[in-house]
Amino acid sequence: MNEFTENRNFIGLNGILGRRDFFINCLFIEIFEAIFWTTPILYMLFTKPELISVFQSGTNPFCFSVWTGIIGIFSCCLYFSSIVRRIRDILGEENNNKIYMISTILSVLIFMGYTPAGNILSGRFIGLLILISLIFFEGKISSQKPKSEIIKFNWGAFLGTWLWGIFNKKPITFLIFPLIFTTGWFPFMLICGFKGNEWAYNKKKDKYESYEAFHNAQQTQTIVFSLITPLVTSIILIAIFAGAGNIFYQYTKQNPKIKHIIVKSFKNYETKALEATFDKIEKNNNEYYFYINPKEWQADYIQKATLRNAINYALIKENSFNDVLNGDALKQYEIMNRVKILSTFNNEILAECKIDNNDIQKIDNYLKDKNKNLSDILQIHKKINESCIYNKNVTLP
């Protein structure tokens, strides 16, 4: 193969690679990482929320670092193949030693983002900057080639994916179904958009008298699939969730122990997730103390959300969450008075609730009153908000 011949394959060191095809190859690598790296991490954090605090501390688990390194090696080997052809196109040179040296350096810099050192030195940002630069630099060779009449972004393929694939006889678009359960679904939709015209034209090029006729047909499909796809997808998802929900309900009805295990698992997950938002939690003399870094105690919405998380945690620990849901708000207000948020710097109180016992009884009476109106409810919320005291002059380290 001539060194300046266009080579649009995913793997290959010979030839050149244009900006558009380089971006498509990057999307394929992103799907690879979504399947074997991003999605498993999100699943792990969902099933083991206690790991959230570990990642927040900046110290990644050893097994995570090893797996990230392995994924990084595979990804960078895939990147190297495309980078070589992209560099050759940008430089317009046949000096392979120079091209391989530059490509190796760039690939190593990208790999740094997958290492613990790269996390400290913003390696992922550097890698992203390299890839973006390679996409936006115009190639000396590819820029001289005439532009194809077919290669344009196909919005019908992007929006319609599998439905568009049925109409245009491209079964590869059905990969969207397994990818829905990963973070790779959007990169795949982009690939369908970029490759859609090529796929469609190669299948039906004898059908069209001109390129203009082909593009007009695809524009019509774009309008149709942008309307049909959300509707059909919604119907399918509703049917799947309704069917799965009914099966789950019938199964748990016949097996109450399974239901108990699932409810317990969700409660455990919620507890772990709430624990991850605080540096430390203590219970002393029937009171709950939640410690956070005072530097995080800035915006009002963060203060309110943090106090709400602390109260929810205490309710779960006191097995009172169901009581609150069933209308026993009295228990909630009693527990609120036992919650305090403290600074990890000097144990300074950052937030607490001080609801008067008489007010608690009044609020309980309001809630039990069947004739209560909107003004009563607003008064209750006002009482609760006034009882929550937030420290606005926090001492910082």
For the stretch 149-159, pLDDT in tens is 888 999 999 99
What mean pLDDT is reported for the chain? 84
Q: What pLDDT was estimated at residue 380? A: 67
User: ∠ CA 99-28-201 to the nearest 5 degrees?
Assistant: 100
What is the pLDDT averaged over residues 279-297? 90
Cα–Cα dist 267/147, whole Å: 58
Q: Are 311 and 339 in contact (CB under 8 A)?
A: yes
Q: What pLDDT was estimated at residue 325? A: 45
For the stretch 247-260, pLDDT in tens is 877 877 787 777 67
For the stretch 322-353, pLDDT in tens is 554 445 566 777 888 889 999 999 999 999 98
What is the pLDDT averaged over residues 31-46? 87
For the question of whether the overall pTM of this predicted structure is more than 0.85, the answer is: no
Q: What pLDDT was estimated at residue 11? A: 93
pLDDT exceeds 90 at position 17: yes
* Exposure string over 303-328, b if 16+ CB within 10 A, otherwise e: beebbebbbbbbbbebebbebbeeee
What is the pLDDT averaged over residues 312-316? 85
pLDDT exceeds 70 at position 280: yes
Residue 181: other Cβ atoms inside 10 A: 11
